[in-house]
Amino acid sequence: MATPEAQTQKEEVKLSYGQPWEIAAKFDNYIHADSRRRQISEVDNHVDVKVQKMAGCFVVKTRLKEEHFVERAPKTNKKKRNGKKKL
């Protein structure tokens, strides 16, 4: 059973779905990755930046903030019909 305290923590977590993250740099330790993250965030305020630990390295990832990207129109998967009927 979940306690009320655990339920409020789950409600506070907001998942952000949107643009995919792009790898900006890879480092062997967190200190160098964090300094690169700070550099990117100070220079460009239109970008979300995060450090993520991957297999044996730390990766700095970036993506445009939601208010700065233009959504594309969804693709339509309509097939062209041929006027001939199949037998």
Pairwise pLDDT comparison (12 vs 60), residue with the higher score: 60
Q: Using CA atoms, how far apart are residues 40 and 35, in angstroms rounded to an integer?
A: 9
Domain ranges of the chain: 18-66
Tens digits of residue pLDDT in 50-80 = 999 998 999 999 988 876 555 565 667 766 6
Q: Are 62 and 21 in contact (CB under 8 A)?
A: yes
Residue 45 has pLDDT above 90, yes or no: no
Dihedral of CA 2/8/9/13: which sign? positive
DSSP 8-state class, residue 56: T
pLDDT higher than 50, residue 42 = yes
Mean pLDDT of 24-45: 93
50 neighbors 34 (Cβ within 8 angstroms): no
Q: Which pTM was predicted? A: 0.57
Instruction: State residue 8's pLDDT score.
Output: 47
